[in-house]
Amino acid sequence: MTWRQARWEEPLVFELGGKSRRGFIPPRPPKEVMDYVGPLRLPEKVKRREPPKLPRLSEVEVVRHYVRLSQMSYGVDNGPVPLGSCTMKYNPKIALKLVSDSRLEYLHPLQDDDTVQGVLEAMYKVQKWLSEILGMDYCSVHPAAGAQGELAGVLVIKKYHELRGQADRKREIVVPDSAHGTNPASAAMAGFVVVEVPTAPDGNVDMDALKAAVGESTAGLMITNPSTLGLFEERILEIAEIVHSVDGLLYYDGANLNGIIGRARPGDMGFDIAHVNLHKTFSVPHGGGGPGSGPVCVKNREVVDGVTLQDLLPGPRIVYDEREGAYRVEAPGKWSVGMLRAWIANTIPVLWAYVYILSMGARGLRVAGEVAVANTNYFLKLMEDVMGEYYSLPYAEGRPRKHEAVLSAEPLKDKTGATAEDVAKGLLDAGFYAPTIYFPLIVKEALMIEFTESETREAIEAYAERLKEIARAAASGSGEHREWPRNTAVRRVDAVYANHPRTVTPTWRVERLRREGRIGPLR
Amino acid sequence: MGEPHPWIPNSGELEEILEKMGVKSVDDLYSDIPESVRMSPDQWDSLPIGEGRPLSEIEVARRWERLMARVRSFRDPPPFMGGGVWPRYVPAAVRYIIERAEFLTAYTPYQAEISQGLMQALFEYQSLIAELLEMEVVNASMYDWSSALGEAFLMAVRVTRRRGRVLVPETMNPLHRKVAETYLYGLGVRVEGVRCDRETGLMDLDDLDSKLGDDVAAVYVEYPSYVGVIEENAAAIGEAAHRRGALFVMGVEPISLALLEPPGRLGADIAVGEGQPLGLGLNYGGPYLGIFAVRWEGRLVRQMPGRIIGLTRDAEGRRAFAMILQTREQHIRRARATSNITTNEALMAVAAAAYLSLLGPEGLREVAETTWYMSHYAAKRLSELPGVESPLLKAEFISDFTVRLPARAAEVRRALKERGVMAGIPLEGHAWFTGNDVLLTVTEVHSKEDVDRLVELVSEVLGVASG
């Protein structure tokens, strides 16, 4: 049976509707109110002269429009989404049901603490549980996403050196070349210079290069463990020692936590700061790109007399007052790097993680991690017969992978011309989401695959089989791989047209103004 | 080992899978972790995480009920509180649309062809906001207003190559200011307040002129402001900024724009704002939606943070959507990216698109008008109470306004809460306000009866306080 996605060729919402249709009608002010306050007054200078050019649709049309659009989208509920480093696990429905509680909708973040004790308790417990899971001393759920957790972390590193009177010297952050792009980007946002170190053939950080890179100017090192190759960094304890020996701090990017959860903890490996992505390891749905939540955690490392890393963290914090038996929200203190968003947390995702962790318990989380790791290695086993011929497994062949594995389609490309992108499109045609491709940058024609614990044996087997079929089809010389995908809502999209200064169209307004000759190419 | 789990299909068959792989025990898969940091299953399982063992749905739902029993949700009436996020009605259809599994459980649309529907929805979000703001380029979301503002300032620093200061109204949202300061801390850029008129709350243009200089990267105004003021001199402030080579950044509350000239007509280079009123709910802190938009100018567009979806075509000439201008982003540009953002608030952007599609131009105007009438009704009724000044600032407002009470604002708020109404954000410690001043909010979710009750209770509480 051939999988086919809906192909609605759905018009834009601007092209739908009519002249006099409404999808929602708010109450009008009662006549007494209008008489009492008089006609609506606004400063003349800034009264809107033309209403915004929004479409007019009934509720029926709006719902059908977006339902059709959803049918041309694909998530974990549709099938496997084995995007490497994204940990696209199943999103339990009990969590959706509970966090959709209508009692949360009107809770204002500046409401008094005594009216939101239940919510604060759940968030406080998530912080406690995360501390245990990571082996850290304190976690804050303030950051809105992983990248914000990273920003929190690098700002803490900056402040640490400032308070120790060595900020002028400590200007560099060391990052392995296999790191997620967010690491160097976060370091740069905090004003640091980024120093990259290469990966050795055994998949670990190149120690000679690391020793050469770390010195007096090193403020800290950011590392993902397991790495984006899905490999555990075997010399992590030595790395920690080297970084600490120059008074640098060690930062843990928790994007790949699913690879060691239940078996090892960054806090025990010498990490001073860590973030986790609740929308990865803790089953919060990704929503097509967000919302997420990126709690940041620290060790009680002393900064200066009486100040620890915890005091440097951004954002309001949730504390439990034993005397009162109540939870409180505390504004950031005088050592804090400040706030990253105006309010306490991305509360709904944090509550989702509460439901998930409560459902799993320590034991369930461990089993999830173990099955995720077993799934990766089972997949590699299934691929054994085509390794070398069509695909390869660069770095540390024979070593078990953890949450993910990075195959290279380079042999296939050399033989047939079919690229990693072609392979990805061939997977789409079979009704699978593709892996992360062309990342990490140190693997040519990279296919970065992470099944998580959510996939069945049959799905993993079918995925492996499809990868082989793709290779055989490309090797047959038919050239059909250039035609893929055929079964999705559209055929391959034109990226050049999408980005050309004459045709780039980020909004419908640009399309209209260009048609009317009111704007030119993007210069 | 070997127990089935509803969310881990292979957990009951793990042994068989390991056997097929020729692996004796799952422990072997972790053999490369140094022994000194490797934990045994027993060690791990005894950590205080959750309740240790997995719980069934039945048990979890009961725990949730116990939590919610200790939440006091003010729904009748909803809280009279805004200050950056507001009690606004969430149409049922919006909620329904964002719970569609194909949106909810999708990742960032890295594979364009299979993610067209999601990308079209995000493109529509960008396009609807572009019309509301009359600005040409909108990204597919930032975390919230405050972080969008932080990014706007960082962008202004890059565009102008000035690393000295940014100027903001002294009455601006204090939480937004804190966030902006955090974002600028890394680069050492200073946030400096410009004086505002004590009667009207409008920015003092002379003070602005005296503070502008060659080291100023951006001038910022809120529209309407934190204290409710509609900055009617926005265009003049923008001109002043441009004369001295700074960018002009406007922060907007989107529903007000149904009534107010859009930032695109007032000379804004960058507009940021909070998308929360567009069908997101309050949810005690988030998720919210940071709006970020710029004018059609290459030096601005190419320095924007965040993801952007664009219109293109497929191999057969069909209309299609793709992520565009990606060379700005962290996964390609790394340390030289315009921002580190990757996960954003995409699903909330879809909610905002659904909201604006449902309301249309008339619905949006009516929500804004009802808000204007109900807030003015409240302000005027309160002003008739002895000793109450309402609104305190003599400028027009839409949903939020300041009130001076003849008693401590925090105490009045506490007394109202005891009577079942959550109202007001005390302004003590902010700019030139006192402990008796409060920021009140009334929107379309508040009925005349709600406002009457609020006024009655304030009167009662003040009576008790003064008597």
Q: B11-35 as b/e, with b when 16 or more CB fall inside 10 Å? A: beebeebbeebebeebeebbebbbe
B118 touching chain A per CB within 8 A: yes
pLDDT of residue A113: 97
pLDDT above 90 for B434: yes
Chain B residues 393-432 within an 8 A CB cutoff of chain A = 395-396, 413-414, 417, 422, 425
SS3 A387: strand
A79 touching chain B per CB within 8 A: no
> DSSP readout, B130-159?
HHHHT-SEE-S-BS-HHHHHHHHHHHHHHH
CA distance B35 to A439: 30
Contact A493 B97 (CB under 8 A): no
pLDDT single digits (tens) B385-415: 999 999 999 989 999 999 999 999 999 999 9
CA distance A16 to B171: 42
- The minimal CB distance from B312 to the residues A109, A289, A494 is found for A494
CA distance B165 to B449: 47
pLDDT of residue B467: 46
Nearest to A266 by CA among A310, A309, A236: A236
pLDDT above 80 for B464: no
Distance from CA of A476 to the nearest CA of B (A): 23
CA distance A382 to A405: 13
Tokens of A83: 């995007």
Structural fold of domain B92-355: Aspartate Aminotransferase; domain 2 (3.40.640)
- The minimal CB distance from A361 to the residues B54, B64, B127 is found for B54
CA distance B285 to A119: 11
Mean pLDDT for the stretch of residues B328-342: 89
User: Is residue B445 left, alpha or beta, with left meaning phi > 0 and alpha meaning psi from -120 to 50?
Assistant: alpha
- The minimal CB distance from B113 to the residues A34, A49, A428 is found for A428
Chain B residues 217-256 within an 8 A CB cutoff of chain A = 230-235
Chain B residues 290-309 within an 8 A CB cutoff of chain A = 296-298, 301, 307-309
Tokens of A465: 């089989």
pLDDT of residue B1: 53
Domain boundaries, chain B: 9-61, 92-355, 366-466
Write down the pTM of the prediction.
Answer: 0.98
What CATH number should be reported for the domain whose range is A117-354?
Answer: 3.40.640.10
Contact B417 A115 (CB under 8 A): yes
CA distance A319 to B257: 39
pLDDT of residue B331: 86
Contact A17 B141 (CB under 8 A): no
Distance from CA of B305 to the nearest CA of A (A): 12
Domain boundaries, chain A: 13-71, 117-354
pLDDT single digits (tens) B1-18: 578 999 999 999 999 999
How many angstroms separate the Cα of B19 from the Cα of each of A46, A60, A384, A385, B26? 73, 54, 16, 18, 10
pLDDT single digits (tens) B24-39: 999 999 999 999 999 9
> In angstroms, how far is the first alpha carbon of chain B from the final one?
70
pLDDT single digits (tens) A432-461: 999 999 999 999 999 999 999 999 999 999
Which parts of chain A have pLDDT scores under 50?
none
Domain boundaries B366-466, CATH class: alpha beta
pLDDT of residue B330: 85
Report the amino acid identity of residue A161.
H
pLDDT single digits (tens) B140-164: 999 999 999 999 999 999 999 999 9
Decide: B314 and B150 in contact? Cβ < 8 Å: no
CA distance B268 to B290: 17
Contact B117 A10 (CB under 8 A): yes
pLDDT of residue B2: 77
pLDDT band per the 50, 70, 90 thresholds, residue B52: confident
pLDDT single digits (tens) A320-373: 999 999 999 999 999 999 999 999 999 999 999 999 999 999 999 999 999 999
